């Protein structure tokens, strides 16, 4: 069941079912790949981020359905080459597939190449490498869709004019940098009265993001809004603003998880923000990894595979598989979600 179609149904009960109840049963019926000998290493940008905890839960659900095993490993800090030792270990262990959200488009490239030449399939999800380093990229939504949605949100929330800042994740993150580049382009062409005055980096670290929020607000006294395209950043920015003189004056939006943002939506700090379902993203990436490992697909454009409860997916250009489109959360619907 796709997140988008569940949302279209608009039923909280169905949604809860879609998000939580699908882990049980359906053994072996989930998709094409899998089997007892399929081993998958899940490597998020860093550990301790609820977003990746949700994607790993989705990976475990898919692995259980497929009869595969999944192990999550990862660094504490989301720095460019911190994932290299984990990739090397996975290659030495001879795992069937590595599912990785990249902290940098090239820094882990050599390690991934070595893993692939040892026979490990590589699926990037959430944040890609350059395409030559992996077999597939499972993308949460189109970069354009994600960029446009965040600009719509901030523009609505500041009345279409004024200074804004971006509080991003780490400076090299492939996903955030792609979205920011598109937001900059779109701002210039479609939002002439909004000025992006600074982009700061909180490194997907809560305290750093909190401190950078304070610094942005101090350096730009006319700031009307902060767009944070990271679940760690937006939660830290909202926490800072919620107890400050800026509450109700400076808009905070971007990409967040409902569980982390609920209190700030309910107390009026945050009007609306967006995301997709990270659980589904990890589930889909694991299904794709298993299909590659089983030889059901090679990652060529036009390849199709069954992804369990999410249905059939087709590999697009540049080895990309698309989960869906971003979804907006606000006071009217946030109580319906639990992730
Ligand atoms: C953080 C990470 C992740 C990103 C989300 C929106 O959890 O930076 O890569 O996709 O935010």
What is the structure's pLDDT at 172?
Answer: 98
- Spatial distance between the Cα atoms of 262 and 251, rounded to a whole number of angstroms: 15
| Burial class, 310, CB count within 10 angstroms (exposed 0-12 / middle 13-18 / buried 19+) | buried
Query: Among the atoms of ligand 1, which is closest to the Cα of residue 52?
Result: 7
Q: Ligand 1 in contact with 98 (CB < 6 A)?
A: no
Query: Among the atoms of ligand 1, which is closest to the Cα of residue 101?
Result: 9
- Spatial distance between the Cα atoms of 325 and 302, rounded to a whole number of angstroms: 20
What is the structure's pLDDT at 3?
Answer: 45
CA of 51 to the centre of ligand 1 (A): 7
CA of 291 to the centre of ligand 1 (A): 25
Q: Ligand 1 in contact with 99 (CB < 6 A)?
A: no
Best residue among 127, 209, 255 to mutate for probing ligand 1, ranked by most atoms within 8 Å of CB: 255
Residues whose CB is less than 8 angstroms from the CB of residue 10 and which lie 6 or more positions away in sequence, other chains included? none
Give mean pLDDT, residues 39-51. 98
N-terminal to C-terminal alpha carbon distance within the chain: 17
Reference 110, options 75, 80, 138; nearest CA is: 80
Where exactly are the structural domains of the chain? 10-141+277-336, 143-275
CA of 231 to the centre of ligand 1 (A): 6
- Spatial distance between the Cα atoms of 47 and 148, rounded to a whole number of angstroms: 29
* Residue listed under structure tokens 């959200």: 101
Q: Ligand 1 in contact with 49 (CB < 6 A)?
A: yes
Q: Is 333 helix (H, G, I), strand (E, B) or coil?
A: coil
pTM given for the model: 0.91
* Residue listed under structure tokens 């907006």: 328
Question: What does the block give as tokens for 294?
Answer: 């089983």
What is the structure's pLDDT at 36?
Answer: 57
Q: What is the pLDDT of residues 288-337, one digit of tens each?
A: 999 999 999 999 999 999 999 999 999 999 999 999 999 999 999 999 99
Are 187 and 196 in contact by the 8 Å Cβ rule? The answer is: yes
Q: What is the pLDDT of residues 13-39, one digit of tens each?
A: 334 333 333 333 333 334 445 555 899
Q: What is the pLDDT of residues 84-132, one digit of tens each?
A: 999 999 999 999 999 999 999 999 999 999 999 999 999 999 999 999 9
Query: Among the atoms of ligand 1, which is closest to the Cα of residue 255?
Result: 6
CA of 129 to the centre of ligand 1 (A): 15
Instruction: State which H helix or E strand residue 71 sits in.
Output: strand 69-72
* Residue listed under structure tokens 């997140």: 3
Fold of 10-141+277-336: Rossmann fold (3.40.50)
Are 337 and 275 in contact by the 8 Å Cβ rule? The answer is: no
- Beta-bridge partner residues of 275: 327
Question: What does the block give as tokens for 100?
Answer: 């990785």
Q: What is the pLDDT of residues 144-190, one digit of tens each?
A: 999 999 999 999 999 999 999 999 999 999 999 999 999 999 999 99
The single-letter DSSP state of residue 255 is: B
Instruction: Report which protein residue has its CA nearest ligand 1's atom 3.
Output: 230
| Burial class, 65, CB count within 10 angstroms (exposed 0-12 / middle 13-18 / buried 19+) | buried
* Residue listed under structure tokens 């989960």: 323
Instruction: State which H helix or E strand residue 212 sits in.
Output: helix 206-219
What is the structure's pLDDT at 197?
Answer: 98
How many other β-carbons are positioned within 10 Å of the β-carbon of residue 192?
A: 10
Class of domain 143-275: alpha beta
Q: Do domains 10-141+277-336 and 143-275 have the same CATH topology?
A: yes
């Amino acid at each position: 069941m796709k997140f988008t179609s569940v949302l279209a149904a608009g039923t909280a009960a169905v949604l809860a079912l879609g998000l939580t109840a699908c882990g049980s049963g359906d053994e072996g019926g989930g998709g094409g790949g899998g089997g007892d000998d399929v081993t998958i290493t899940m490597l998020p940008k860093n550990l301790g981020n609820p977003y990746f905890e949700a994607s790993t839960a989705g990976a475990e659900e898919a692995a259980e359905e497929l009869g595969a095993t999944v192990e999550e490993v990862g660094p504490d800090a989301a720095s460019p080459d911190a994932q290299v030792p984990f990739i090397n270990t996975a290659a030495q262990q001879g795992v069937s597939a590595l599912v990785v959200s990249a902290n940098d488009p090239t820094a882990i490239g050599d390690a991934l190449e070595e893993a692939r030449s040892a026979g490990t399939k590589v699926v990037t999800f959430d944040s890609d490498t350059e395409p030559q380093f992996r077999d597939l990229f499972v993308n949460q939504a189109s970069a354009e869709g994600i960029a446009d949605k965040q600009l719509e949100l901030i523009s609505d929330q500041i009345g279409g004019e004024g200074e804004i800042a971006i509080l991003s994740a780490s400076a090299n993150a492939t996903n955030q940098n792609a979205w920011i580049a598109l937001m900059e382009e779109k701002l210039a062409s479609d939002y002439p009265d909004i000025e992006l005055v600074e982009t700061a980096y909180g490194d997907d670290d809560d305290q750093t993001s909190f401190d950078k929020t304070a610094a942005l607000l101090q350096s730009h006294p006319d700031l009307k809004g902060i767009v944070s395209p990271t679940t760690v950043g937006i939660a830290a920015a909202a926490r800072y603003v919620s107890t400050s003189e800026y509450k109700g004056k400076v808009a905070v939006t971007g990409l967040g998880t409902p569980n982390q943002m609920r209190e700030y939506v309910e107390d009026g700090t945050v009007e609306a923000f967006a995301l997709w379902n990270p659980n589904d993203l990890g589930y889909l990436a694991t299904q794709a990894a298993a299909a590659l490992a089983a030889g059901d697909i090679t990652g060529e454009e036009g390849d199709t595979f069954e992804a369990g409860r999410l249905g059939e997916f087709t590999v697009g250009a540049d080895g990309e598989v698309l989960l869906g489109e971003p979804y907006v959360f606000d006071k009217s619907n946030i109580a319906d979600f639990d992730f």
